[in-house]
Amino acid sequence: MTTIEKLYVPFVDFKRRYALYRDEILSAVDEVFSSGTYILGEPVEQLEKQLSYYLNTPYVLGVANGADALMLGLKVLNIGSGDEVIVPVNSFIASAGAVVAAGATPIFCDVCDDLNIDVNQIENHITKKTKAIMPVHLTGRPADMNAIMQIAQKHNLFVIEDAAQSIGAKYHEKMTGAIGDIGCFSLHPLKNLHAYGDAGIITAKNKAHYDQLKLLRNHGLLDRDHCAVWGYNSRIDAVQAKLVSLGLTHLDEWNDKRRKNAMRYQQALKNIVKVPQEINDIFSVYHNFVIQTKQRNALVAHLQENGIDTRVHYPIPLHQQPAAKIWEYQAGDFPVAEKLALEMLSLPIYPELSDEHAEYVIRNIKEFYEA
Ligand SMILES: *Cc1c(COP(=O)(O)O)cnc(C)c1O
């Protein structure tokens, strides 16, 4: 066996990223701090305009985080107590948590091998109480939106896209997060477009929803002294908005680098493990690159031993979370998600990943399967 010089490959590398952009970040921070505006204001309006252009959608608002965007999206559609929302069972906890925060009940739906909601099963979960479908574009791969929009239209349901992982991803030339009634993005530091703290974005198709969301994110205030509706504090900081605007100038380049890393992994690993497939008319932005293998846990240990950090997105399907016990789901209710939970593994894919590090990951995976 050839010995490989040991490297350390973190799962993400925020410090390296900061070092690359430090000068422009610090000067943007200085500009905002010197302006004396710290919450909402001009930098937020700028970001909203830029994202409206980027996403090709009329109404965009900055909010405090991605989970709030989902919750506010449900609220503005009047979804709450007694209502049901269909949510894929393999997602980040916030997809379901936001439904609960709005006072409604998430109804889980199994996913496909591509990790996104199984559109053939959605109708099985529709009841008289169903108000919306919440597709998640997991890993930055668009869910099957044509099928979802058709089902929603047929049953008179809203569609709220959880696009937290998919900014820049396209579904048949449409930007994810700008297809359904409401689109929600997280700008958490881990996401493809990110703040340096918490922040989020909500899009709306409809002007009335936009006007209402603008109130809801800021205590329901029409102006300093008049409250039109009972709202929330879900504002975005001016400095975060400014830094996200800066990031937006790099986003396509970052997404291209993620895609380039993904193609490299796909080519090198396709005969060894299951890798995500590229599909016509689907532009994925690889927030995560998830392989599938029966030897997942042994592979994790091997990679860890060799200095490579990996993650599982997500090791516990939503219906098996302790917090979900109240709904009395059973093991076996969502066989695909339950199988994926044991076999999925996310490899480092961030834009700053060097060729040397990507090749090192590949060599170590090959070595594991050759042994
Ligand atoms: C990150 C994420 C969220 C929540 O975003 P926050 O900004 O952390 O609140 C919601 N859904 C998905 C799929 C996510 O990945």
Q: Of 177, 187, 165, 211, which is closest to residue 63 (Cα–Cα)?
A: 187
pLDDT at 351: 97
Kindly report the protein residue whose alpha carbon is nearest to atom 14 of ligand 1: 164
Which atom of ligand 1 has the smallest separation from the CA of 95?
Answer: 11
pLDDT digits (tens, 9 = 90+) for 253-300: 999 999 999 999 999 999 999 999 999 999 999 999 999 999 999 999
pLDDT digits (tens, 9 = 90+) for 14-33: 999 999 999 999 999 999 99
- pLDDT exceeding 70 applies to what percent of the chain? 99
- pLDDT exceeding 90 applies to what percent of the chain? 98
DSSP letters spanning 59-99: EEEEES-HHHHHHHHHHHTT--TT-EEEEESSS-HHHHHHH
- Residue 366 in contact with residue 320, Cβ under 8 Å? no
**Measured distance CA(73)–CA(213) in Å, rounded:** 8
Full-model pTM = 0.97
Three-state DSSP at 243 gives helix
pLDDT at 311: 98
Residue-averaged pLDDT of the chain? 97
Confidence of residue 5 (pLDDT cuts 50, 70, 90): confident
Please, which residues have CB within 8 angstroms of residue 31's CB and are 6 or more apart in sequence? 242
**Measured distance CA(52)–CA(61) in Å, rounded:** 9
Confidence of residue 84 (pLDDT cuts 50, 70, 90): very high
Cα 35 to ligand 1 centre (Å): 30
Q: Which two tokens stand for residue 196?
A: 């340096």
pLDDT at 335: 98
Pick the more confident residue, 66 or 1: 66
Q: How far is CA 281 from CA 55, 62, 145, 172, 174, in A?
A: 17, 29, 12, 5, 10
Q: Of 61, 36, 362, which is closest to residue 218 (Cα–Cα)?
A: 61
**pLDDT of 2 over the 60 cut:** no
Which atom of ligand 1 has the smallest separation from the CA of 190?
Answer: 1
Within 6 Å (CB) of ligand 1, which residues are found?
Answer: 65-67, 91-92, 94-95, 136, 162, 164-165, 186, 188, 198, 200
**pLDDT of 312 over the 70 cut:** yes
- What does the DSSP 8-state code read for residue 327? G
Q: Is the dihedral of CA 303, 305, 309, 312 positive or negative?
A: positive
- Tokens 């939503």 belong to 318
